[in-house]
Amino acid sequence: MAIDRRTLLGVGVAAASTALLGKTHAASEIPASRAKRLRRIATEEAWSIPEHIEALIGIGQTSWDNLDAMSWRPVTAASPLARRLVDIDERLRIMDQLGVDMHVLSLTSPGVQMFERAHAVAMAALANDRMAEIIRARPARFAGLASFAPQDPARAAKEIERCVTKLKLNGFIVNSHTNNEYLDLPKYWEIFEAAEALNAAIYIHPRCPADTMARPYSDYEMRAAIWGFQAEVGVHAVRLMLAGVFDRFPKLTVVLGHMGENVPFHLWRTDHWFERRRASYASKLLPSEIFKRNIMITTSGVEHGPALRYAIEVLGADRIMWAIDYPYEEMPPAVTFMNEVGISESDRAKVLHENAERVFHIEPA
């Protein structure tokens, strides 16, 4: 039973979750060889605070024709999505039912990137402080990816330092484009400089396509997960590679969700045309070389064995982390998928927890 993002914005989320829990394996029924001895760390788990949701709802109620604003138009403070984003107790109950050990929390898309600069800086700091409080209260159950405001790169770099050194958060999340710009532009590179210096990964999470590419995605609900998200973040990732970001910051780690936002499945052809036009690009590295050195992917929202096995074959199991994408996706299918997918037990352990422990500096259990 698939639950898409539009369904989550409706009134039936709680009932759908209950139905899924009834259909999946209970934790006690999962084979011991796969369930009980492997820690489960889910690495792309959306979360928010009331102030953030209120601000996004406010944007949704304007006449702005931006695709992200349109996505927030149906949401109210009382909607199931808003409630689930802030409800830590319900999240923990479902995690306990399914044997999910930890969620790596991150401020839900589009984060702070639609706000005016000062508002964005303040909202990121507030959300990061609240996230740190949740993690301090339950350090065995939660880790966190901090937000920053690309609208002010200098302040973003300072917030990156604060979140690692003072709040002890585990990495960072950015929701792709900001003001229709991408992070390949050199004016944003002090963000990468700060993250690399602190060995902190940056997760590039989707949002709807930028205004500059929005028109074809405004029909047929294409703006979101069915196609717009992966198309938009895939563009962002390839821009970073071709712009020479990873030549300049060779130790930087970037994370892409949703099985790599389609990019791994096109690496052969991307390399092929890169070789034919090397002089056009700032990078000296093949895209595949960058991907295997600097980029991690997660399984979020892709419970498809052939896709996971392909990613393991092309990238290696060391480059893949498990994720659920809760509450936009439900936990039971993601747990069942990783219990049953046909991969080696050593690869399963890497995907379920070992890679997340390494990349996000999570203490091994």
pLDDT, tens digit, 9 for 90 and up, residues 131-156? 999 999 999 999 999 999 999 999 99
Tens-digit pLDDT profile for residues 185-217 = 999 999 999 999 999 999 999 999 999 999 999
Position 360 scores a pLDDT of 98
Position 8 scores a pLDDT of 39
**Structural domains of the chain ordered from first start:** 32-359 (3.20.20.140)
Catalytically annotated residue among 68, 184, 325, 347: 325
Omega into 333 within 30° of 0, i.e. cis? no
Average pLDDT, the chain: 91
- Residue 290 in contact with residue 254, Cβ under 8 Å? no
Among the ranges given (10-19, 32-41, 64-73, 343-352), the one the predictor scored with the smallest mean pLDDT? 10-19
Whether the pTM exceeds 0.85: the reply is yes
What's the DSSP call for residue 167?
S
In degrees to the nearest 10, what's the CA dihedral of 128, 144, 329, 303? 150
247 is catalytic: no
Both tokens of 197, joined, read: 């210096």
Left if phi > 0, otherwise alpha if psi is -120 to 50, otherwise beta: which for 112? alpha
Beta bridge partners of 46: 106
Q: Between 12 and 136, where is the model more confident?
A: 136
**Does the pLDDT of residue 364 top 70, yes or no?**
yes
**Does the pLDDT of residue 1 top 60, yes or no?**
no
Tell me the pLDDT band of 37, cut-offs 50, 70 and 90: confident
* Count of H-run helices and E-run strands, the chain: 18, 8
Tell me the pLDDT band of 36, cut-offs 50, 70 and 90: low
Secondary structure element (H or E) that encloses residue 293, with its range = helix 287-294
Both tokens of 288, joined, read: 């595949």
Tens-digit pLDDT profile for residues 266-320 = 999 999 999 999 999 999 999 999 999 999 999 999 999 999 999 999 999 999 9
Q: Between 5 and 81, where is the model more confident?
A: 81
Both tokens of 50, joined, read: 């009331």
How far, in Å, CA of 157 to CA of 151, rounded? 11
Residue 274's alpha-carbon distances to 232, 265, 267, 282, 350, in angstroms, are 20, 16, 10, 11, 31
**Does the pLDDT of residue 30 top 70, yes or no?**
no
Query: Which residues are within 8 A (CB) of 144 and not within 5 positions of it... i.e. 6 or more apart?
Result: 104, 105, 106, 128, 131, 132, 134, 135, 169, 170
How far, in Å, CA of 48 to CA of 354, rounded? 26
**Does the pLDDT of residue 35 top 60, yes or no?**
no
